[in-house]
Amino acid sequence: MPPQRTYTPTSGGITGPPPRQFPASQGGITGPQPGPSPYYPQAQQPVTGTPIPQATPSQQYGAGTQQQENYSTAGPTPLATAQQAAPVREFKDTGPIRVRRFSPILVIILIIAALVLSGFAVYKTGWLETPLAKVQDFVGSIEPPQWPPFGNKDTTPPGLVNASVSNITSAGAVITWQTDEPSTGQVMICESSGGCTWTELDENLVTDHSVNIADLKPATAYHFTATSTDAASNQGTAEGDFTTSGQPPATPLVISGIKVSNVTGSAGTISWMTDKPGTSQVGYGTTNTYGSTTTLDQQLTTSHTATLSGLSPAITYHFKVISRDSSGIEIASQDQTFTTAGTAPPPSGVGTQIGMAAPDFTLPTLDGKQVSLNELKGKKVMINFWQDVQQSRNELSVMQEVYEKYPRDKLTVLAISWDQTLAITQAVVNSKALTMTIPLDETGEVAAKYNVTQSPVTIFIDSQGIVRYTSYYPSSLKSYTRVESTLNSMQ
């Protein structure tokens, strides 16, 4: 701020007005008392809390009245001139400033739009799916009361009387009872061993109840529980016992420990064990249809022995052991094989019988080559005739496993597709991922040589071209272990 300059009257200058003072009695600010200013043509008025209108020179002094104070002849001062020339601004009190507001309708529209957009965003993100599903499940699980919301609820269970069992047989019985009010009916049957079963619920509300019990065991003790439920879900029960008629069920024998011993070129001994005493007999033959049996030994024992005689040398035989308990229940083992000792007799012709030379054939293969049986002499050959049927498809998986695991220089596997089109053959090969050799017998000519009428049929041929084992439908080779056992028995 520039320093204040002071001018004296003698030099024509201007001296600033003395400090003004406002009396405290008028609500002013205390300070120097104001006095008349030599620089303003109008009279000076004390400043109070209420603004005093400013009077013009004519109002103050009267028209034509000259100011009584003379300061200088040098003309009006610059300050006086500026004061007289500046317009006086007047300010009016217009009240509080009004705030500009939005239309209420616009505000409501904006709120609704925001809610709609928020709801749409929540729906699209799936935040409400789980809560809504839980609410829906909860509401759906609520069952309306079966009794009036006011008054006393029925809590008395139905009374069951006259529960009895009739028409008892070795496999069934009839259970009847009455209730003192309409109710449903159901029975639980329990064996003495602890196993229990329920009959199907009879939902009809009646007072006379009858339930048939079936599939029971003969000569067996049972405990029953009859149950009835009324319309108010009150449940009553009645119990009882009964025993079915007849003889107790027989438990079949269990065969174990099958062994083959003392094998020669013409005989062999078969032995086995059973868990209870039984008879002894063996069925045997060059195929799994057997055809021959040993003499039945009717002595009841748990240790069994049977001797096979009149066998041919170097031949693989099939057999099964048979035992029958005191009640006449018979049990037989699974098919077993063994090979007699000695040198194989010379072939007695061409055919599919055990010991005969396998019929020769030449067939095209799926990969565009040719295969001939006579050219495979010197190693074992396993021929499988198959078609697109389930049992054949299952056996093809076993053939493929044998092909992958058995040495190629020891065994050739031929899976012959017979009496079916090339397209069907290719589809099965693709679906089973077969990599073994697939000869094509579309006309069925080779299958006829091997007496094939249904598939699957498997022929085992030794390194000299002699048939050593045959498996015709409905028998099938269900595991690699069984095939391996047969191959190992072929000398």
User: Do 434 and 466 fall into the same domain?
Assistant: yes
State the CATH number of the domain containing residue 466: 3.40.30.10
- Last residue of one domain, picked from the residues 243, 278, 312: 243
Q: Phi first, then psi: what are they for 307, rounded to 5°?
A: -110, 130
* 205 lies in some domain: yes
Instruction: Tell me which of 148 and 339 has the higher pLDDT.
Output: 339
* 357 lies in some domain: no
For the chain, percent of residues with pLDDT exceeding 90: 44
> What confidence tier does 371 reach under pLDDT thresholds 50, 70, 90?
very high
> What confidence tier does 100 reach under pLDDT thresholds 50, 70, 90?
low
Kindly report, residue by residue over 393-432, the tens digit of the pLDDT.
888 999 999 999 988 888 999 999 999 999 999 999 999 9
User: Do 304 and 187 fall into the same domain?
Assistant: no
Q: Residue 116: is its pLDDT beyond 90? A: no
> What confidence tier does 95 reach under pLDDT thresholds 50, 70, 90?
low
Q: Residue 28: is its pLDDT beyond 50? A: no
The boundaries of the domain holding residue 318 are 255-339
State the CATH number of the domain containing residue 264: 2.60.40.10
Segment 482-486 mean pLDDT: 80
Q: Residue 227: is its pLDDT beyond 90? A: yes
- Last residue of one domain, picked from the residues 213, 243, 273: 243
Instruction: Tell me which of 295 and 59 has the higher pLDDT.
Output: 295
Segment 259-275 mean pLDDT: 93
User: Do 237 and 262 fall into the same domain?
Assistant: no
User: Do 264 and 377 fall into the same domain?
Assistant: no
Q: Which of 27-36, 248-257, 297-306 has the lowest mean pLDDT?
A: 27-36
* 381 lies in some domain: yes
User: Do 423 and 478 fall into the same domain?
Assistant: yes
Domains of the chain: total = 3
Kindly report, residue by residue over 177-206, the tens digit of the pLDDT.
999 999 999 999 998 777 899 999 999 999
> What confidence tier does 484 reach under pLDDT thresholds 50, 70, 90?
confident
User: Do 421 and 467 fall into the same domain?
Assistant: yes
